[in-house]
């Protein structure tokens, strides 16, 4: 699947975001190894610690459906800055994805490609498999 196609699915997911406090809407689309796609959006809560990011929503949905092998993720946001994943989302990705896992971040009509290893070098890993 082309990055642009995954980004378009993330853009559609962004429309479902619940972001009344920050007004920063985020959508994510996660491509599984079997080519299925799970999307997610950010869901804010008045108790900010209970907020869930779009990336984790997509990953947790995939896990709940029995998927644990992923090929790429696209993240799109309503703001002008590229929506790089937060530290918590990066660490969740490390649980299931290797350092070469592609991460596409997009805003407007532009996107950047990076890898999980570039986003989170020396990540916490009990087994040391993601070094």
Residues identified as active-site: 55
Give the Cα separation of 1 and 16 in Å (integer).
Answer: 23
State how beta strands 102-107 and 110-115 pair. Answer: antiparallel
Helices vs strands, H then E, count in the chain: 4, 5
Give the Cα separation of 34 and 53 in Å (integer).
Answer: 24
Give the Cα separation of 78 and 62 in Å (integer).
Answer: 24
């Amino acid at each position: 699947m082309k990055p642009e196609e995954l980004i378009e699915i993330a853009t559609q997911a962004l429309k479902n975001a619940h972001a009344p406090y920050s007004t920063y809407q985020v959508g994510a689309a996660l491509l599984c190894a079997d080519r299925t796609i799970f999307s997610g959006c950010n869901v804010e809560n008045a108790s900010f610690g209970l907020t869930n990011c779009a990336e984790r929503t997509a990953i947790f949905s995939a896990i709940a459906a029995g998927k644990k092998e992923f090929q790429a993720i696209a993240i799109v946001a309503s703001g002008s800055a590229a929506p790089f994943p937060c530290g918590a989302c990066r660490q969740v990705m490390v649980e299931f994805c290797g350092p070469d896992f592609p991460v596409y971040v997009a805003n407007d009509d532009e996107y950047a490609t990076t890898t999980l290893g570039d986003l989170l070098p020396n990540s916490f890993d009990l087994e040391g498999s993601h070094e």
